[in-house]
Amino acid sequence: MSITADPDALAEYWREVRTVVPELPAEAPEAWAFGATPEHADGLLELVMSGVKTGTASSVWDYEASGDPMPEVGELSVILDGSGTPRAVIRTTSLQTVPFDEVGEEHAHAEGEGDRTLRAWREIHERFWRTHSEDSRGWTPGMPVLCERFELVHPVR
């Protein structure tokens, strides 16, 4: 399931954001939602908005399967809620690709999920990729994981 934004709502949101942060580019960046369900998107967005979630992880295999471009440092993204409404803007600050079983405690904590431990991160993400992976390989301990760190650009807390 893919959550998408109404193009008109995205354009209006971007105009509003640029009145607050005028140095942002004229064209709206890609808009997407965290997770695979509307409920997951809303929960993870709330963690971003509260400043708890400053990182995310993606399966490199999923990028390959979908053909979607991988993020780049400095890239902006509009984050959607579970209904597809634009709610936040983030900027990617760092990227590192590592095997699943080498993701570290610091990254797990930055993702803000569960009790923020590496053990919880591994359980949550293994379950996620076993259930929602776009690639037929799903999940393996050595799968390449893109660990992304980001900052909240808007709304400013």
Please tell me the CATH superfamily of domain 7-154, with its number: Sulfate adenylyltransferase (3.10.400.10)
pLDDT digits (tens, 9 = 90+) for 24-80: 999 999 999 999 999 999 999 999 999 999 999 999 999 999 999 999 999 999 999
The whole-angstrom separation of Cα 34 and Cα 7 is: 19
Most distant CA atoms of the chain, gap in Å: 45
User: Global pTM?
Assistant: 0.93
Q: Per-residue pLDDT averaged across 10-31, rounded?
A: 97
What is the dihedral sign for C-alpha 52, 13, 5, 90?
A: negative
What DSSP string describes 118-133? Answer: HHHHHHHHHHHHHHH-
- 2 pLDDT above the threshold of 90: no
Number of other residues whose CB lies within 10 A of the CB of residue 25: 9
Nearest to 71 by CA among 10, 103, 36, 30: 30
Q: What is the pLDDT of residues 101-143, one digit of tens each?
A: 999 999 999 999 999 999 999 999 999 999 999 888 889 999 9
